[in-house]
Every structure is written in C-alpha cells, then in structure tokens.
Amino acid sequence: MHEKHLYDYAVLRVVPRVEREEFINVGLMLYCKRQKYLRIQYQIPSEKISSFCKEFDLDQLKINLDSFVAICEGKKNAGPIAQLEKDERFRWLTAVKSSSIQTSRPHSGFSTDLDKTFDKLYNELVI
C-alpha cells in the first residue's frame, strides 16, 4: 500500500476588475510538507480575460505570474521571499490580497502521488 501524504493546494485567480470581484482560475499551487513538494503551473486564457476587461494588461499579468512561479520555485533572483522555506513561500503566496492576482483559500487532501493529484486538480479547476 502506498503512503498517503497530506497536501494543501490553492487556485491562482485573475481578477480583471477588482471592484467587481469576478475572477478567472488561471493556475494551481500544491504543497506537501512531508515530501518537501511545492509545484505551480498556470495558463493565461487571454480571450476570456479580455471579455471581462478589454484594457487588462496581459503582458503585465504574465510578468506577475512568472514572479509567482519564481518565488514558488525558490529562484535565487526572485528576491527574499523566494529564499524562505517552502511552507513559508506557500503561505506568503496564498495570503489574502486585493490585487488582480489572488489565490483561493488553501484546501487540503491526501495523495499517494502528488504529481498525479496536481494534474487532476489542474484539469478540474483551471482548464
């Protein structure tokens, strides 16, 4: 029997017009302390975002989401937050923000295969 690992995940959301509080799921982040696992992935559905707000800056969105990825992955050039431990990076990235990029509240689950779980959640919640 495979060991089950407790994990937390959060959905990355774009809020094209913060005042309207409407969002579009664009990515997923999954963290497992025991396995020292932290993974993030996103896509930018340009047409969908533009349908909410025609003047939304998609180039800036990509830059900002790439910063999320760099922090999540602990890249050396991503600043001091990226140098924190994985659990601290996950908590920082999922902190409540009132900006155009937000995350859902973290949700928990158990998995025997974190990559498979990530892919399943990504396909269900983002694509």
Q: Tell me which DSSP letter residue 18 carries.
A: G
Q: What is the pLDDT of residue 97?
A: 79
Answer whether residue 64 shows pLDDT above 80.
yes
90-126: pLDDT as tens digits: 999 999 877 889 999 999 999 999 999 999 999 999 9
State which amino acid sits at residue 118.
F
Please state, in angstroms and as integers, the Cα–Cα distance from residue 31 to each residue in 20, 48, 86, 107, following that order.
30, 28, 8, 10
Q: What residues contact residue 100 under an 8 Å CB cut-off, 6+ apart?
A: 14, 15, 16, 18, 56, 61, 64
Q: Name the pTM for this structure.
A: 0.93
Q: Tell me which DSSP letter residue 98 carries.
A: -
12-48: pLDDT as tens digits: 999 999 888 899 999 999 999 999 999 999 999 999 9
Residue boundaries of the structural domains of the chain: 5-103
Q: Name the token pair of 118.
A: 């990530």
Q: For the stretch 71-92, what's the b/e string if a residue is b when 16 or more beta carbons lie within 10 angstroms of its beta carbon?
A: bbeeeeebeeebeeebeebbee
Q: What is the pLDDT of residue 35?
A: 97
